[in-house]
């Protein structure tokens, strides 16, 4: 039995913020940002939420798949920026789209979140517990960014992507791997509300994304090629047979560096980071939906997907479209 992506969808805020707009309130420039990241613009929420963006992405994935929300049996939302701790974003999305039959819950593995959620959905379907699943990655990172810190505010964007998966007789996801390195997790953090009760007060004045960019870059350069090679070895597929490598869209320099490490033509690494920035768990499903809707994904193509991020976490999978 295979688990195959049948439909894709995405949703981005309408407000587009380019590098020149950022330079009006932080010490940066279009040239400085492009040279270091490859990012030219990003979509920033003016009221859109993780739930509203994820719900729209899910509806578009269902429409693309030709399925109804009432058929969905499992609904997962990968996010590290929900508006509420409870109820979870997935339950709110379930309500919005009318997927009343679905079991719904969130998963947080930061920028690896969509892949971890996709792997989780596959495990449930492969085990026979559910026949299908909706998997979304949604983020509104703009509320977690310190807009006076040019090292982080230039990087992130908001958005959501989703896929609908179900059992299939052929193709689909051929194998996956995932790893975590919690001992090094302090290189990329974002605190939440501090402890404050009648017995203690560790409340925080700010809770913004903090990142050691050099360490994150080094982590990605080491682990992403290793993860991709691991899943290729596991599935016995040579890298030459992979048509496209879809990476987490963190930084164009990282994507280009990984292509060099793997000794693979950079043209096989599609990218949209210049237009949307780093959207954490939303980046891979949004890129996948863009490629699907413009007809770049042909039946039988082999794709390698890889995510990496806070935790530290990383993972990869290989699929036949």
User: In 25-45, which positions are buried (b, 16+ CB within 10 angstroms) versus exposed (e)?
Assistant: eeebebeebeebbbbbbbbbb
Instruction: Measure the CA–CA gap between 102 and 164, rounded to whole angstroms.
Output: 13
Choice among 19, 64, 122, 248 that is catalytic:
248
119 is catalytic: no
Instruction: Measure the CA–CA gap between 277 and 252, rounded to whole angstroms.
Output: 10
Reduced DSSP (H G I as helix, E B as strand, rest coil) percent helix, strand, coil of the chain, to 5: 40, 25, 35
Choice among 111, 122, 153, 317 that is catalytic:
111
Strand partners, 188: 211
Could you tell me which of 138, 139, 126 has the C-alpha nearest to residue 165?
126
43 is catalytic: no
Choice among 64, 132, 278, 292 that is catalytic:
278
278 is catalytic: yes
Neighbours of 240 (CB within 10 A): 7
* Active-site residue list: 111, 248, 278
């Amino acid at each position: 039995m295979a688990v195959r992506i049948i439909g894709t969808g995405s949703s981005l805020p309408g407000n587009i913020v380019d590098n020149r707009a950022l330079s009006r309130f932080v010490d940066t420039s279009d040239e400085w940002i492009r040279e270091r990241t490859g990012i030219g613009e990003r979509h920033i929420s003016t009221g859109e939420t993780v739930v509203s963006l994820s719900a729209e992405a899910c509806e578009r994935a269902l429409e693309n798949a030709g399925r109804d929300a009432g058929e969905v049996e499992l609904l997962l939302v990968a996010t590290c920026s929900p508006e509420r701790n409870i109820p979870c974003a997935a339950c709110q999305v379930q309500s919005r789209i009318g997927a009343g039959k679905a079991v719904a819950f969130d998963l947080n593995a930061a920028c690896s979140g969509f892949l971890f959620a996709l792997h989780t959905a596959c495990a449930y379907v492969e085990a026979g517990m559910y026949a299908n699943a909706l998997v979304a990655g949604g983020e509104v990172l703009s509320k977690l960014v310190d807009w006076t810190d040019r090292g982080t505010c230039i990087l992130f964007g908001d958005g959501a992507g989703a896929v609908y998966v179900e059992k299939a007789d052929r193709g689909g996801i051929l194998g996956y791997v995932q790893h975590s390195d919690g001992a090094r997790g302090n290189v990329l953090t974002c605190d939440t509300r501090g402890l404050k009760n009648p017995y203690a007060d560790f409340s925080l004045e700010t809770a913004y994304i903090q990142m050691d960019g050099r360490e994150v870059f080094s982590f990605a350069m080491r682990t992403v090629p290793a993860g991709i090679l691991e899943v290729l070895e596991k599935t016995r597929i040579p890298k030459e047979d992979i048509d496209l490598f879809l990476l987490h869209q963190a930084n164009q320099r990282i994507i280009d560096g990984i292509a060099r490490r793997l000794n693979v033509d950079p043209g096989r690494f599609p990218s949209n980071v210049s237009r949307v920035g780093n959207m954490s768990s939303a980046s891979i499903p949004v890129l996948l939906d863009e490629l699907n809707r413009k007809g770049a994904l042909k039946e039988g193509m082999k794709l390698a997907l890889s995510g990496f991020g806070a935790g530290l976490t990383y993972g990869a999978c290989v699929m036949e479209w």
